[in-house]
Amino acid sequence: MQENRFEENKQFEQGPEEGLPGADQAQGVNPENPELPDLDLTKELEAAQAKAAENYDLYVRAVAEADNVRRRASEDIAKARKFSIEKFAESMLPVVDSLEKALEASANEQGALKEGLEITYRQLKSALENNGMKEENPVGLKFDPNTMQAITMVKDPAVQPGCVAQVFQRGWKIADRVLRPAMVAVSQ
């Protein structure tokens, strides 16, 4: 069928051969009003254009999907880098708390042991902060349930109602994500 169309198109481009009687009528072409022979080419053209539009739509969607996959992958990599120490940091927070309690217990003492505790505490906090962790001490700030955990309500005239009056345990964030909420007492 395709070869047949090719031959018809070839003959149409070349025109009727001269010297052949009735060549004009054999092709169905009127010499005064030359028109294309009706071979449902219009329908085929419309179908081809519809298929081309469909393929272009599929192409655009595939490109968009590839871009989305690339973007999501780069976001996942960035998050992995940002929060890679999260599990390790969570396991280090009790160590920080223990060092703070040890420093509170040895507040009245002097000597090498207390100096060693202070130095170790400063180094550990510095290491955590250098890796994107921030300590939250919200005394006097308005209570935020997203970053704080209320343990009790207290009456404290020095603190506005709804604000943190006392911190039992400091909170920690890693790159603006709450690692551990601060445990606080809220003023009534």
State the residue for tokens 């420093």.
103
- Phi and psi dihedrals of 165, rounded to 5? -95, -35
What integer pLDDT is reported at residue 39 of this predicted model?
65
- Which of 24-38, 121-135, 173-187 has the lowest average pLDDT? 24-38
**Residue pLDDT, tens place only, 128-176:** 999 889 999 999 999 999 999 999 999 988 899 999 999 999 999 988 8
Domain 86-187, CATH among 2.40.50.140, 1.20.1250.20, 3.40.50.300, 2.30.22.10: 2.30.22.10
The yes-or-no verdict on residue 19 having pLDDT over 50 is no
The yes-or-no verdict on residue 23 having pLDDT over 80 is no
